[in-house]
Structure formats: structure tokens, C-alpha cells
Amino acid sequence: MSDRINPFTPNFGQTPRHIAGRDLMISDIFDMLEGNIGSPARTSIFIGARGSGKTALLTYFASECLSRGWISVSVSCVPGMQEDILQQAAIASENLIPKEKKTHITGVSLGNLFSVEWAEESVQKPNWRTGITRLLEYLSENETGLLITIDEVRPSLDEMIQVASVYQLLIRENRKVALLMAGLPSEVSMLINDRSVSFLRRASQYYLERIEDHDIETAFRLTVADSGKSVGTDALDKAVRAINGFPYMMQLVGYRAWQDSGDKEQIDSENMERGIELAEKDFESRVLKATVNELSRGDIAFLRAMLPDEGKSDITSIISRMKKSSGYVSRYRARLIERGVIEAVSRGVVAFALPGLKEYLRGRKHLFGGE
């Protein structure tokens, strides 16, 4: 029994065994991949705070597209990504061709084919648009589309703007191509406000918000069952409460509680309590600390002004506690919402969006030093 493998995936970028929630976005993307190419989901952006599951979703779509007639390339928005897209696509399409046909056509692998052709013609290496167009022509002969996923988008990278602009032209030419992007709220909003790629404003935007408790509960139970164990009802209730809709926390709690249950068949309440305690520490060091480190003094001052409130905070109280103008306060409100740190609950009311952040800040008054 001890050789059982822990089924939880508390690592960034790792696709969970059972995706909790996210039903609508998954069905929209599958519908598009399965033939509804005119769907607005063809160009989509997934927006969410750290640990909300952006990379996991992109990876999931990339792994599910082949059986639906698409090859995928997955890149992060970093220098060199254009070249990376071409190379990955060349390798993926090489694997598409049946072996007999491959020798029949060329006798060389497709990866080589591209570079050989380029070398022969090559007074000049073809530009990115030419390269990708050739690839798409080749793929369309094989009735295959190209799904490009770009993670951690940021508008400051020229290559991002170039890829998006060429992509727009490819769509106009009726090529079978789709683009799924993911990023933190602030980066995405800067990207779609970039004038040179304003068409991205019409992309489908999916916000990765808190997952419903009943979806967490189902995914948690199924994940445990995958390993041949089960989880008690009380234990599961405790887990759902501690997870509070946050995907990364689901993996941390599950992982720790599963470990704690050792060789037992069932994860009980005590295993869960210890698991939750450890998971909260993990969460603190990997998510809360990282998030707070990226904030400015003004952001922190805003959050500090929210701490006296038990639940939500009124903007009017924040203004009076910060002793600043409403214009100043609303600038920081917008920044923090874009970063996924707080959320607008209703008009003039905000709340912390990251679970545990309020308690974390309350325990760290030194962060506010000098204010």
C-alpha cells in the first residue's frame, strides 16, 4: 500500500488529475476545437491571480487538441518565443505524417525539410509570417489546425505584439489557427490596451475566479479515489472550507493530508487538520509572500486600510483611513483589482481576493513600517 502515489499536484503549471470547475471555458474551447471554428473562443485569454490555474488550463487544452485534429505549440511570453513556436510546430507536424508517406514525399524529416528549403532559397531566411504560413499550408493538406498557447503574456515583449499581429492576418486568410493566452490581470489589461493589437480586445476573456465549493468537493473526492483511498465526510468538509475555492490550495491541502494518512485506506479528520496546517504554511511562503513582494508602498497602504474591517471594506472608510483623495485611492483600487489581490464586491465595496492574505498582513505590521 505504501507504494501508492500521491495523486495531488501541488506544483505550479502541473495539470491536476481532475480539474475542479471551469466547465464553461472548457466546453467553449472544446466546441471550437471540435469544428466550431467561427466561435469567439478561437482567440481566448485566461485571466487570473497566481495559482488560479492558468497554466494548468493551457496545458490541458494543448494535450487534448490532437485527438480533435489540431497540433499545439506551447510557449511562455519570453524572448525567442517566435522561433520556439516555429520549431515546436515543425516537430509536432513531423509526428503527424505516417511513416510510409514521409519517405515517399521527401526522404527527410519535416524539421529538416523546412530548414533545407530555407537554406536553398536562402539568400534570406523567411520571416516569421512566411514560416508559419508554410507550416499552416502543410498542415491544412493534412486537415490539421495549429493551436498556439502563450502563457504569462506581457505587452512589453515585442515578439508578443508581432505574433498577435501576424495571427490576425492568418485569421483573415482563413487559416486553421487558434490562439489561447493566459496572464495576470494587470499584464492582460495592458496587452489588450496596446494600440497595435487592439483586435485582442475582442478576444474572449475568461476570468479564473474562485471555484464553487461543490466543484472543489467533487474534484477532491475523485482525486483521492484515483489513488485507491477515500476521504471521510467531516474531513472533506474541513478541506473544502480551508481551500475556499482556490485551486492551488486544493492541491496543497490534498497533498499534505494524503501524506499524513500514510498506509490507511481513508483520510480522516485528524489527517486533514494536520494537512491543512501544513498547506497553509506552504501557501503563505509560495503565494502570499510572492504577491506582497510585487506590491508598491501605495498598494500596501491601501491594503492596510482594509485590515480593520472583518469582511468587506467600504471605499469611503478606506479614503478616510488613508487620508488621501478619492482619485488617489481609486487608482490603487484599480491596480490591486488588476493584480487579482482584491475584488470589487459591489459598488464602492471591495474585499481581499487571495485567501489568507488579510491574516498574513495582519501578522506582519512591519511591512507597513515608515508609512
Ligand X SMILES: Nc1ncnc2c1ncn2[C@@H]1O[C@H](COP(=O)(O)OP(=O)(O)OP(=O)(O)O)[C@@H](O)[C@H]1O
Contact characters 326-345, ligand X, x per CB under 6 A: --------------------
CB of 204 to Mg ion, least distance (A): 19
Ranges within 28-57 binding Mg ion (CB under 5 A): 54-55
Angle between helix axes 233-243 and 247-260 (nearest 10 degrees) is: 140
Among the listed ranges 44-52, 68-76, 185-193, 266-274, the one in contact with ligand X (CB under 6 A) is 44-52
Ranges within 202-221 binding ligand X (CB under 6 A): 219
CB of 332 to ligand X, least distance (A): 21
HEC states along 223-257? HHHHCCCEECHHHHHHHHHHHCCCHHHHHHHHHHH
User: Which residue from 41, 44, 45, 55 is in contact with ligand X, where contact means CB under 6 A?
Assistant: 55
CB under 8 Å to 219, separation ≥6 — which residues?
16, 18, 19, 20, 21, 250
User: Which residue from 11, 317, 320, 326 is in contact with ligand X, where contact means CB under 6 A?
Assistant: 11
Instruction: Report what 60 binds from Mg ion, ligand X, none; CB cut-off 5-8 Å by kind.
Output: none
Is the CB of 55 or the CB of 72 nearer to Mg ion?
Answer: 55
DSSP run (H or E) holding 179 = strand 177-183
- Judge contact between 193 and 348, C-beta under 8 A: no
Is the CB of 102 or the CB of 210 nearer to ligand X?
Answer: 210
DSSP character at residue 287: I
Distance from chain centroid for Cα 312: 27
Residue 305, number of CB atoms within 10 A of its CB = 21
Is the CB of 16 or the CB of 145 nearer to ligand X?
Answer: 16
The helix/strand/coil state of 178 is strand
Binding residues for ligand X (CB under 6 A): 9-14, 16, 19-22, 48, 50-56, 219, 247-248, 250-251
Binding residues for Mg ion (CB under 5 A): 54-55
